[in-house]
Amino acid sequence: MNRQEKEKILKEQELKEMSALINGQNIERNRIAKDLHDGVAGDLAGIKLLLAKENTYLKNENLQKIQKNLSEVFQEIRKISHNLSINNIKEKTLKNLLSDLKDSYQQRNEFSFDVYIYPENAIDDLDEIKKLNIYRILQELLHNISKHAKATEVELSINRHHNDMNIIVADNGVGFDIYKKGIGLKNIEERLKIISGEMNIQSEMNKGTSVIIDIKL
């Protein structure tokens, strides 16, 4: 067995191990999503109904505020549950998933979020593995922006030319040291290996960050 064959076998083994790891993560995400939806969300719905029943007679303003807060928490848990669930991802197109993601951030008024896809059908025919991993990657990047960047503007652009896809996520936030990668970015790199992708990060302190991803389809 020559060197190239050994390297090929090692690479295939590495991809299998990463796929197994991510599959395990998906199973755990599904379990948590189900527990949130059937357990916590169900309990909150029950409490909300009890409060509404009691307040029919009491007409207490504080109870009304608590009901309103419970409704908001209930809706947020439902969103988290749907975002975690792989079944929800399978049922929707990537375009619809990105639209939902955009709406969720805009509803929270965290930052303005523009999405550009060219051509319009660029992401319509992706297989399930690529769709899932691209969505999870974008989820993680947006979560990082929300948590760390202090950005007011975010732009996502997806461009495709035949079997080459280019994705850019840019923000106008505080930037970060690209040599200090947390678990989130390392997970993204692992997902990119599975779908034949590469990532390049450009960031300057107080001048924003651009994450550039190239994928061979």
Q: Domain segments of the chain: what residues?
A: 3-87, 92-216
Residue 17 predicted with pLDDT over 90: no
The architecture in CATH of the region 92-216 reads: 2-Layer Sandwich (3.30)
Both tokens assigned to 30 = 């599904």
Q: Work out the number of other CB atoms within 10 angstroms of the CB of residue 17.
A: 11
Q: pLDDT digits over 78-123, tens only?
A: 777 777 777 778 888 999 999 988 988 888 888 999 999 999 999 9
CA gap 200, 94 in Å, rounded: 22
Name the pTM for this structure. 0.71
Categorize the per-residue pLDDT at 23 as very low, low, confident or very high, splitting at 50, 70 and 90.
confident
pLDDT at residue 33 tops 80: no
Outline where 119-170 has alpha helix (H). 128-144
Q: Quick one: which of 141, 206, 142 has its CA closest to 174? A: 206
Q: Give the span between the Cα atoms of 115 and 121, in whole angstroms.
A: 14
SS3 assignment, position 170: strand
